């Protein structure tokens, strides 16, 4: 009598890579206007993102730059590799069409984040040139904005 052997395929699911990109002045968190941006510093932001990433099964890489060209290059890298992005464009949010055009090339989710809620602040912060090409925006929750953004990415890592 023939014997049928059914073997379950073993698939190793590799963690979804996510870039958490931060724009100008964000490395100075903790000492930069703490009454506005809080007392937690940039290393705390990195740790918080890595911890929540671990919890969600995401391979999170956190970067910061004050240089618009470098941030654009990182967004090209994400677009080319179809990597989801959590992006705090900082002041570039409000005027960088170069950043906006780089974000528009994405095919994976891109969540715009802000520590503060720009809508409650000076009028120049009320415009985001990035929001229109982002999957969504989380703003106003301090470091938790990043956690919420990563949870959104984990819920739809390849959706847009």
Active centre residues (catalytic): 37, 114
141 is a contact residue toward ligand DQA (CB under 6 A):
no
Interacting positions 92-111 with ligand DQA (CB under 6 A) = 93
CB 112 within 8 A of CB 130: yes
Interacting positions 108-137 with ligand DQA (CB under 6 A) = 114-116, 118, 125
Nearer to ligand DQA, 91 or 133 (CB): 91
Q: Which residues contact 128 (CB under 8 A, 6 or more apart)?
A: 89, 93, 94, 112, 118, 137
CA distance readout (Å), 157 to 45, 47, 83, 84, 108: 21, 21, 9, 7, 7
Interacting positions 55-74 with ligand DQA (CB under 6 A) = none
Beta carbon of residue 36, minimum distance to ligand DQA (angstroms, whole number): 8
Nearer to ligand DQA, 26 or 52 (CB): 26
Q: Which residues contact 80 (CB under 8 A, 6 or more apart)?
A: none
Nearer to ligand DQA, 88 or 135 (CB): 88
Nearer to ligand DQA, 135 or 137 (CB): 137
Q: How many amino acids of this chain bind ligand DQA (CB under 6 A)?
A: 10
**CB burial string 6-21: b at 16+ within 10 A, e below:** eeeeeeeeeebbbbbb
47 is a contact residue toward ligand DQA (CB under 6 A):
no
CB 127 within 8 A of CB 62: no
Residue 160: DSSP 8-state: -
Residue from 64, 88, 96, 137 touching ligand DQA (CB under 6 A): that is 88
Q: Binding residues for ligand DQA, per CB under 6 A? A: 25, 88, 90-91, 93, 114-116, 118, 125
């Amino acid at each position: 009598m023939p014997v049928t052997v059914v073997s379950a395929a073993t698939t190793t699911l590799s963690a979804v890579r996510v870039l958490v990109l931060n724009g100008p002045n964000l490395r100075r968190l903790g000492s930069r206007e703490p009454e506005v941006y809080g007392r937690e510093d940039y290393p705390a932001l990195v740790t918080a993102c890595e911890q929540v990433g671990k919890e969600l099964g995401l391979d999170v890489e956190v970067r910061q730059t004050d240089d618009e060209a470098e941030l654009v290059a990182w967004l090209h890298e994400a677009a080319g590799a179809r990597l989801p992005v959590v992006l705090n464009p900082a002041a570039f949010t409000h005027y960088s069409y170069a950043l906006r055009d780089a974000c528009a090339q994405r095919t994976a989710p891109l969540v715009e984040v802000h520590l503060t809620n720009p809508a409650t602040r000076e009028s120049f912060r009320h415009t985001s040139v990035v929001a229109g090409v982002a999957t969504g925006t989380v703003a106003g929750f301090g470091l938790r904005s990043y956690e919420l953004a990563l949870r959104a990415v984990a819920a739809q890592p390849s959706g847009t």
